[in-house]
């Protein structure tokens, strides 16, 4: 007969890999929306490139995974049910926002999910507020940096190439945009696949297979593969919202957006701070749009995106809280 505790571990690992797959599917737009909308690449070529480089980026570091695994829920309250309910809430919220084409944050969803399930398990004392303050500060500041850097970078390029014709400028930047999109896809892998690595490692520590929080290479490969497969599946609804509806982009704008966003994300990942690739690239698009003029931004779409950002942590926390209350009487022993 299958050990129920081991069965729960398997269920947690499956849910975490499913989240990684959905994250790749949901966040494909982050890496490729701009290069698709400017016709620098075909959507099939862009998705293949993004999937490959998502995998490569996911294998580079585990600093963000450690932050997710150790700085949200106190270790003494870290049960398999807490992890399962947290990841389930994040998955449900990601599916809802994908359905409506809203580029919400999978990073916010998993953080909110673990907060909600931890609270359901042991109340407010289950949460590590010191770690959460750092995490939320990084998530709040990174879009601000994205907007500012995107605006400044675009203004510098305008200044340098002020005597160039728009058609000639965009012809050259269309080629460069393939490189910047690759840079963005790689940075997405370094940031987002690590969330599931952290969750699975949390579950392995809780089960007792690991004595300390160190991400095994097998977990790295599994999460990187799940994200790459999800990315390969694509996500046209969100690609359309980010790449077409929000700000009309030319190749020079896409290059600025991808390069500036990747720089912010890689810098944060290097010090173990989780960022939302969705928030960073969307805010960078905003900064680039503002460098043209205020009316270049579709403020109705901006309002929808901002609403999704604000709602994600409390909504995913609420969903995870409810999932815990439903599953714990059935599976929690």
- Name the 3-class secondary structure at 163: coil
Residue in 91, 81, 92, 93 with CA at minimum distance from that of residue 117: 81
Task: Give the 3-state secondary structure of residue 102.
Answer: coil
Q: What is the phi/psi pair of residue 127, to 5°?
A: -95, 145
Give the span between the Cα atoms of 173 and 179, in whole angstroms: 10
Beta bridge partners, 25, equal none
Q: Which residues have C-beta within 8 Å of that of residue 226, sequence separation ≥ 6?
A: 17, 18, 20, 21, 24, 193, 196
Please tell me the predicted confidence (pLDDT) of residue 219.
93
Half-sphere exposure of 22 (CA within 13 A, CB side): 28
Specify the pLDDT at position 222.
93
Extract the tokens encoding 138: 């990084």
- Confidence (pLDDT) at 301: 66
Domain extent listing, the chain:
4-327
pLDDT at 221: 92
Write the CB contacts of 324 (distance below 8 Å, at least 6 apart in sequence): 81, 82, 85, 116, 117, 120, 121
- State the pTM of this model: 0.81
The pLDDT, as a whole number, for residue 17 is 92
SS3 state of residue 73 = strand
**Count of residues in the chain:** 333
Q: Are 119 and 321 in contact (CB under 8 A)?
A: yes
Residue ranges of the chain with per-residue pLDDT less than 50: 243-244
Give the count of beta carbons closer than 10 Å to the beta carbon of residue 89: 29
Q: CA 235 to CA 225: how far, in whole Å? A: 17
Residue with tokens 């931004």: 297
């Amino acid at each position: 007969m299958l050990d129920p505790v081991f069965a729960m571990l398997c269920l947690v690992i499956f849910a975490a890999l499913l989240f990684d797959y959905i994250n790749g599917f949901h966040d494909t737009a982050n890496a490729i929306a701009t290069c698709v909308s400017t016709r620098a690449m075909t959507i099939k070529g862009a998705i293949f490139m993004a999937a490959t480089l998502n995998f490569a980026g996911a294998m580079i570091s585990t600093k963000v995974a450690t932050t997710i695994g150790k700085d949200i829920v106190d270790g003494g309250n870290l049960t398999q049910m807490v992890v399962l309910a947290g990841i389930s809430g994040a998955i449900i919220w990601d599916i809802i926002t994908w359905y409506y084409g809203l580029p919400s944050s999978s990073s916010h969803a998993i953080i909110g999910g673990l907060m909600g399930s931890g609270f359901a398990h042991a109340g407010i004392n289950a949460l590590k507020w010191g770690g959460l303050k750092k995490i939320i500060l990084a998530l709040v500041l990174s879009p601000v940096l994205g907007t500012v850097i995107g605006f400044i970078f675009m203004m510098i390029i305008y200044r340098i190439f002020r005597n160039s014709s728009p058609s000639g400028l965009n012809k050259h930047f269309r080629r460069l945009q393939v490189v910047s999109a690759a840079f963005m896809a790689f940075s997405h892998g370094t940031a987002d696949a690590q969330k599931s690595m952290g969750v699975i490692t949390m579950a392995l520590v809780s089960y007792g297979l690991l004595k300390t929080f160190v991400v095994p290479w097998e977990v790295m490969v599994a999460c990187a593969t799940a994200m790459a497969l999800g990315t390969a599946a694509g996500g046209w609804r969100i690609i359309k919202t980010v790449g077409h509806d929000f700000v009309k982009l030319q190749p020079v704008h896409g290059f600025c957006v991808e390069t500036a966003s990747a720089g912010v994300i890689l810098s944060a990942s290097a010090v173990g701070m989780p960022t939302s690739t969705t928030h960073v690239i969307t805010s960078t698009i905003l900064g680039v749009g503002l460098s043209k003029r205020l009316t270049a931004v579709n403020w109705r779409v901006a309002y929808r995106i901002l609403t999704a950002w604000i709602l994600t942590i409390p909504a995913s926390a609420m969903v995870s809280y409810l999932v815990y209350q439903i599953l714990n009487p059935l599976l929690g022993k």
